[in-house]
Amino acid sequence: MAKEGYILVVDDETHIVHVVSLKLRNAGYEVRTAGDGEEAYEIVNQDPPMLIITDLQMPYMTGLELCTKLRDREETAEIPALLLTARGYALESSDLARTNIKEMINKPFSPRQILEHVQALLGDSGEQGSKAA
């Protein structure tokens, strides 16, 4: 089933990007990928996605910096994000408040869990998100 828009998956670990994209594509979502924060920022500005799934610790620009920068621009401020982090990695609530991060998912994560979050989020925001048969 075709979707309006796509999900952007950002991680410097290619295996992670690969497995998350595959899970989402198998569920019928359109997916684009980026290897670091800077690349993701450019993609979002050119073609805003309906959701961003990003790792926290990445070279050049972290996931948190990416989400903060996007929040600062009117065109991208409302794009929701899911943040992948190592468990126990403390993030200041004031830092999170300056982003549109909806959920934090601890590593090691389960692709099923990510899909559930995506479906809940896109469903909540009124977007289409039903899984293709």
Which residues bind to another protein, rule: CB under 8 A? Answer: 12-16, 18-20, 22-23, 26, 57, 59-60, 86-89, 107-112
Task: Quote the CA–CA distance of 132 and 62 in Å, as a whole number.
Answer: 32
Could you tell me which residues come within 8 angstroms of residue 8 by beta carbon, excluding any fewer than 6 positions away? 31, 32, 33, 34, 40, 43, 44, 49, 51, 52, 53, 54
Minimum gap (Å) between residue 92 Cβ and another protein: 15
State which residue, 110 or 125, has the beta carbon closest to another protein: 110
Shortest distance in whole angstroms from residue 20 CB to another protein:
8
Closer by beta carbon to another protein, 24 or else 79: 24
Count of residues for the chain? 133
Minimum CB distance to another protein smaller for 59 or for 123? 59
